[in-house]
Structure 1
Amino acid sequence: MRTGMMALALGLLTLRFLPALPPVWLWLAMPVAGLMLLPFRTYPVAFYLFGLSWACVNAQWALDDRLPPTLDGETRWIEGRVTGLPRHDDGVMRFELTDIQSRRTRLPRQMRLAWYGGPPVNSGERWRLAVKLKRPVGLLNPQAFDYQAWLLAQRIGATGTVKQGERLAPAQRAWRDGIRQRLLAVDAQGRSGALTALVLGDGAGLSREDWQVLQDTGTVHLLVISGQHIGLLAGVVYLLIAGLSRFGLWPNRLPWLPWACGLAFAAALCYGMLAGFGVPVRRACLMIGLVLLWRLRFRHLGAWWPLLLALNGILLLEPLASLQPGFWLSFAAVAVLILTFGGRLGPWRWWQTWTRAQWLIAIGLCPLLLALGLPISLSGPLANLFAVPWISLVVLPPALLGTLLLPVPYVGETLLWLAGGLIDWWFRGLGLVSGQVPAWVPTAVPLWAWLMGAIGAVLLLLPRGVPMRPLGWPMLLMLVFAPRPMLQEGVAEVWQLDVGQGLAILVRTRHHTMLYDAGPRFGELDQGERVVLPALHKLGVKGLDLMLISHAHADHAGGARAIAKGLPVNRVVSGEPSDLPLELRAERCESGRQWTWDGVDFQLWHWPLAGDSNQNSCVLLIEANGERLLLSGDIDAAAERALLDSPLALPTDWLQAPHHGSRSSSSNALLDVLQPKGALISRGQGNSFGHPHPTVIARYQKRGMTIYDSVEQGAIRLQLGRFEPPWSMRQERRFWRDPPPLTP
């Protein structure tokens, strides 16, 4: 039976790795084939087919519920009920809408909306809204968070921006939102947002600095409700009843063990309801229920059975859970603990158990974090030694008790004030650690090196005395010191990163690296910090020889400060150096300046008669083995005419579309002289500027140019000097992504 359960889990998990869903007839035939195989004792194959078929059916339902392409960018009036916990960030209301109705067309059942400057929106209210609809897409960059997969896992079929609306009905059955409002109104010594995260699992009240501290110290799991909190509450209830029974204070007519297990499970379910039943919470509740059942009846089955049953239970209820990183981390952490403690011949002392558990979890999760593209906390094992008992035993009890006693005057507020102060001290301590040892963003490694590192981690988790266990350390270190291929002399690797409505292009030669533009920043949304800097780390960039900021507009220069803070930058050059932050110490772009890196030639141009910021863009020509790429910034037709009188007016293979494909750029005169065979366009989906303009696309298509659009292809990599077509992230097929278009 265990083999069949493992095969079922494997079938359900296979969905995560499918480049495309099988045809309908095939996944409908899978359960039929499985039933036919059962009499022949091939039940593992049958269970695998059952699991894969069920996962494919659910994935297809979710894909069919997404916004049709024909409605992308349309504005429609819709009605729906607000669900979840709405967030208010920098004047923007963000919330999810369900039970959606529209008079003229069928729309997805659930949407994620943003209302800029909108009124307060509360959970449970019913609204009529005018929404500009968007298909669920996200930025695609190397080893980055896949927002589109996350939306599909949440079964969100569309996103959108609210233009106007009216409230049709007040809130109903919104008790979690009511509790949140009470918690936010309490004096918690400035930490009401952290209390809300701890009690309700709502991290909207945490600042960016708070999240960075939690990430650096590996303690995110402590503040946003995880299985640990659920298990702690269930354990307290169980031990309380066991203690009462031991001292004769429990009624004799009630058998203490069934009551302890039942009330502990009820406490776990109540806390899970309070937390909103996210994937980690559902996993924890199911695991606790199975553990308690195991305690009552099935102790002889071992510790792996509850984990395996919980894994299958979660995936059968929600097969798309495997698209979320938290799912893998939750089950992997429990598996590491079972593997660590299950094979020991003798017990450890309590302090050995506690310290070794932290280090072994860090080792066991390291390959998984690398595969998921997540930062790895170097200080996590040490920080968690003190952070876990502080939150679990010191902060959580007054926080939960204070929330429960909020209706009692002064009592609940006092307990929450105390809990807030305890969290504040905790954050201050973690901040000291975070400032000294930030999280490590590892470079992507080849598959063979990752496999060796994963095997090494498993070896290190085994008990002492196991043959070949000492080989685990050198094998694990392959994740850090794996050899990486070097670029050839005379070849440049060019990455146009997917940063939305902005530009960031990485150029690397054999021994040198430069960045052309740094991505956009609009308000608190800094894509230089969120997208460009992590991408540079994951691509193995240790520092920049040159950061060239074409001009000072926020969509090109906004991320420069974050990048200069996160990486060593030798020089900064810009067409508008005086308009950049002083700490960048930018130099002016000088026309005619040339240099060579590792056989690759670079040449700058800047129009001295520029009349505005776009015309001031610093233009860069890169030539590798005779193949040319022109990075043009935001120059317009007037600047393009001046460029044609410069030495850069040469036949060019690749053109970074000036001004994101604006109608004011990419003039016929420029295209006639440069004769590019392809254009790279960096823009945001559904941007308000209308980039790229249809007339510009028509000019490109008339000349037979291949168009590589960041919205349609994601990040784009060009090996300049090899005369090969670019590769795009969307060519890395996943069933939840649309394939890249073949645009002539």
Structure 2
Amino acid sequence: MLYSALAILAGISVFLTFMPISGWPLAVPLLLLLAIPWRPSRFAGLAVVGFLWCGWQLDQRLAQDLPPLLENHDLQVEGTIRGLPETRADGRLRFRFEINCYQEATGCHALPLTVRLNWYRQAPSLYSGERWRLRVRLKQPHGFANPGGFDYERWLLAAGIRATGYVRDKGDNQRIGTSSGYSVQAVREWLVTQLSQRLGSSSQTSLLRALGVGDRSQMSAQQWAVLRTTGTSHLLAISGLHVGLVASLIFILVRRAWSWAGLCRYWPARHAAALASIAAALVYALLSGFQVPAQRALIMISVFMLSGFASQRLSPWHIWSQALLLVLLIDPLSALTPGLWLSFGAVAAILYLSVGYQGNMSKWYRIGRLQLLLPVALLPAGWVWFQQMSIVAPLANVLAIPWVGFLVVPPLLAGLACLPLWPLASGWLLAMAAASVQLLWQGLEWFANWPGNLLYLSAITGSGLFWLVSGTVCLLASRALPVQLTGILLLAAVAFTPSPRPASGDVWMTVLDVGQGLSTVIQTRQHLLVFDTGPAFRSGFNTGEAVVVPYLHWLGYQFIDRLIISHADNDHAGGAAALLSAFSAGRVSGGEPETSGLPDVHPCRAGQHWVWDAVQFEILSPADE
């Protein structure tokens, strides 16, 4: 079962790597490999199954694309609001809208399409499940095409969103149907409102909203930075850890209550507890908005609990494999997200480090060993997906995981459950959860302020990834000191391999995709020049932080020798401040230094020149006045 699941995952990964969108059916004849009575041949056939399944699913999703003729034109559409609408810091309202049809002079035409919309001015209160008639302007999914940065287009594809756009102010925008007051989304909205009313708009409220109902829209950029720096982002979102905790608590309580009530003569207590824990995990997953991490956790918990009904006890690896197969069967495109690799990778690492390697180890030694080696096990996935590593993550997680699991989540969920039945007790429990998360946050901020605690990792090649995985396996697979030393040497060799650089006398120039504007990165053998940084927007988004900084980290740079801002217009200088907050620069020059808004900017004048690594640079304009 394990190798079968891995083979299907490999086939899906191959498809998503090369994306043969039109040619994937040509692999159908390779299914004959399944008929050959040789194990490697059958595994290859299962990889073909994963390849074809992913191709068919992607073909179905792409069939729902926005027709090109409708792009960038005003459309009157009808549809339903899905999920919790998000009020952004700049005042706009962002929400997911499931379009059913659009109207023209010739009538109403079907358009089954899920889109992501922004409502910028005078947005009314929107609620999940409401039907609206809106005048919108849509465009096909698009994201910046730069190495090292966030792939927004891939994220939209994995989320099933096939267009983005905004609501037009002009037009007959009106609500044409209300939502059911008893839907899951209505309950989530009610809980969000209650949390805000009882706890106010403090930073603790945004964290509790994320933990209680999966609403992370109010978390600030500073909060995300602290979580990223300490490696604890998984704790402040509903993940497998929290769903598993809820399921475990319900299992223990129901099993003891069932036995105490003497009901075991009718049905085994462990069976009743297993079904109750699955139901609890389902409710919590639904309250989280049924996000992908919660879906995976629900599937894994269901497989594990239902395995207890089998006459033969299943191994943990068999259960892990079944859960992986179910997730890939439901949505093979989830392999486009780091969550699948990190969640299943973390569980696999825990199983590998725990099952069969306990020996005479004490309980605390096993916990400490697991906590220290788990970040190492996840290093390959973290390097590929994020190109960064938190030095303090093991220590921060040792303290934060039990704190969240026992002092934040239980009183929070108990308080939410008591809201309609016992408001007074609910207030006490929610206040307890807020105080606990406040103390936790103070500790995380202390960890985040440690100097040099976040390492940025440069791009890794295919051969580098091979040696990284090999070193990780050597370090974890054996308790023999020579093998572990070999693993450490391999990891060190990969970590200290220098990034590619031009030869002396050569220059590499990369024009980055920043939308409307310009940003160019120029490399010589030992120097780096950045020319312009792209725009910044009222929403707080800027391409200096979102594009230029990740790209320079991806290249392995820690210092900019010279930053040149051609002129002070936003589409050229908007990202400069964010870039300088992340990188030190040896010299900052500009064509309009007085209006750039940056400190210590030297004026650019025609005739200025310098030589780097046998490459000559010269400023051509503006001339001296």
Q: Same fold (TM over 0.5)?
A: yes
Q: Which residue of 2 aligns with 1:560?
A: 576
1:192 corresponds, among 205, 209, 216, to 205
Shift of 1:271: 0.9
2:489 corresponds, among 462, 467, 474, to 474
What SS does structure 1 have at the residue aligned with 2:72? coil
Shift of 1:83: 0.1
Q: Is the 8 A contact 1:27 1:56 kept in 2?
A: no
Q: Distance in 2 between matches of 1:250 and 1:203?
A: 43
Shift of 1:332: 0.7
Distance 1:54 1:486, change over 3 A: closer
Counterpart amino acid of residue 151 in structure 1: L
Shift of 1:375: 2.7
What SS does structure 2 have at the residue aligned with 1:222? coil
Shift of 1:99: 4.2
Q: Which residue of 2 aligns with 1:62?
A: 61
Counterpart amino acid of residue 412 in structure 1: S
Render the CA deviation track for 1:337-392: whole Å, top value 9, x for unaligned. Answer: 11111231515323222222222110011111111234322211010000001101
Q: Is the 8 A contact 1:507 1:514 kept in 2?
A: yes
Q: Is the 8 A contact 1:213 1:430 kept in 2?
A: yes
Q: Which residue of 2 aligns with 1:494?
A: 509
User: For residues 120-139 of structure 1, what are the structure 2 equivalents within 5 Å?
Assistant: 120-139=125-144
Q: Which residue of 1 aligns with 2:592?
A: 576
| 172-181 vs 110-119, greater mean Cα deviation | 172-181
Shift of 1:404: 1.0
| Gapped regions of structure 1 (runs ≥ 5) | 611-744
What SS does structure 1 have at the residue aligned with 2:456? coil
User: For residues 664-679 of structure 1, what are the structure 2 equivalents within 5 Å?
Assistant: none
Shift of 1:300: 4.3
Counterpart amino acid of residue 155 in structure 2: W
Q: Distance in 2 between matches of 1:237 and 1:304?
A: 24
Q: Distance in 2 between matches of 1:486 and 1:155?
A: 39
Counterpart amino acid of residue 119 in structure 2: W
Q: CA RMSD in A?
A: 2.3
Q: Distance in 1 between matches of 2:468 and 2:38?
A: 39
1:515 corresponds, among 530, 550, 567, to 530
Q: Distance in 2 between matches of 1:479 and 1:184?
A: 48
Distance 1:5 1:580, change over 3 A: closer
Shift of 1:10: 3.2
Q: Which residue of 2 aligns with 1:11?
A: 11
Q: Which residue of 2 aligns with 1:93?
A: 93
Shift of 1:520: 1.5
Q: Which residue of 1 aligns with 2:351?
A: 338
User: For residues 428-443 of structure 1, what are the structure 2 equivalents within 5 Å?
Assistant: 428-437=442-451, 438-443=453-458
Instruction: Indicate yes or no: 2:224 matched with 1:211.
Output: yes
What SS does structure 1 have at the residue aligned with 2:199? coil
Render the CA deviation track for 1:168-213: whole Å, top value 9, x for unaligned. Answer: 2223333222322222332165421111100112211110000000
1:168 corresponds, among 176, 185, 188, to 176
Distance 1:34 1:96, change over 3 A: farther
Instruction: Indicate yes or no: 2:159 matched with 1:145.
Output: no
Shift of 1:38: 6.9
What SS does structure 1 have at the residue aligned with 2:586? coil
Q: Distance in 2 between matches of 1:589 and 1:14?
A: 49
Shift of 1:30: 6.0
Identical positions, percent:
34
Counterpart amino acid of residue 342 in structure 1: V
Q: Which residue of 2 aligns with 1:485?
A: 500
Q: Distance in 2 between matches of 1:566 and 1:194?
A: 26
TM-score (normalizing by structure 2) = 0.92
Q: Is the 8 A contact 2:387 2:458 kept in 1?
A: no
Shift of 1:128: 1.1
Q: Distance in 2 between matches of 1:145 and 1:346?
A: 43
Distance 1:586 1:434, change over 3 A: same
Instruction: Indicate yes or no: 2:286 matched with 1:270.
Output: no
Distance 1:288 1:554, change over 3 A: same
Q: Distance in 2 between matches of 1:237 and 1:360?
A: 30
Q: Distance in 2 between matches of 1:12 and 1:445?
A: 21
Shift of 1:485: 3.1
Instruction: Indicate yes or no: 2:620 matched with 1:605.
Output: yes
Q: Distance in 2 between matches of 1:229 and 1:597?
A: 54
Distance 1:166 1:598, change over 3 A: same
Q: Is the 8 A contact 2:33 2:44 kept in 1?
A: yes
Distance 1:445 1:11, change over 3 A: closer
Distance 1:385 1:110, change over 3 A: same
Q: Is the 8 A contact 2:501 2:523 kept in 1?
A: no
TM-score (normalizing by structure 1) = 0.77
Q: Which residue of 2 aligns with 1:427?
A: 441
Q: Which residue of 2 aligns with 1:596?
A: 611
Q: Which residue of 2 aligns with 1:538?
A: 554
Q: Which residue of 2 aligns with 1:418?
A: 432
1:362 corresponds, among 375, 395, 400, to 375
- Count of residue pairs the alignment pairs up: 606
What SS does structure 2 have at the residue aligned with 1:204? coil
Q: Distance in 2 between matches of 1:409 and 1:126?
A: 32
User: For residues 699-718 of structure 1, what are the structure 2 equivalents within 5 Å?
Assistant: none
| Gapped regions of structure 2 (runs ≥ 5) | none
Greater C-alpha Rg: 1
Q: Is the 8 A contact 2:79 2:131 kept in 1?
A: yes
Render the CA deviation track for 1:225-276: whole Å, top value 9, x for unaligned. Answer: 1100011111111222344467x45534342111121111111111111112
Q: Which residue of 2 aligns with 1:103?
A: 103
Instruction: Indicate yes or no: 2:239 matched with 1:226.
Output: yes
Shift of 1:574: 0.9
Q: Distance in 2 between matches of 1:244 and 1:349?
A: 31
Shift of 1:58: 0.6
2:263 corresponds, among 226, 251, 261, to 251
Q: Which residue of 2 aligns with 1:154?
A: 159
Shift of 1:106: 4.8
Moved over 6 A (4+): 38-41
Distance 1:324 1:116, change over 3 A: same
Counterpart amino acid of residue 167 in structure 1: R
Render the CA deviation track for 1:294-346: whole Å, top value 9, x for unaligned. Answer: 34436643211111111110010111111111111111111111111123151
Distance 1:347 1:211, change over 3 A: farther
What SS does structure 1 have at the residue aligned with 2:58? helix
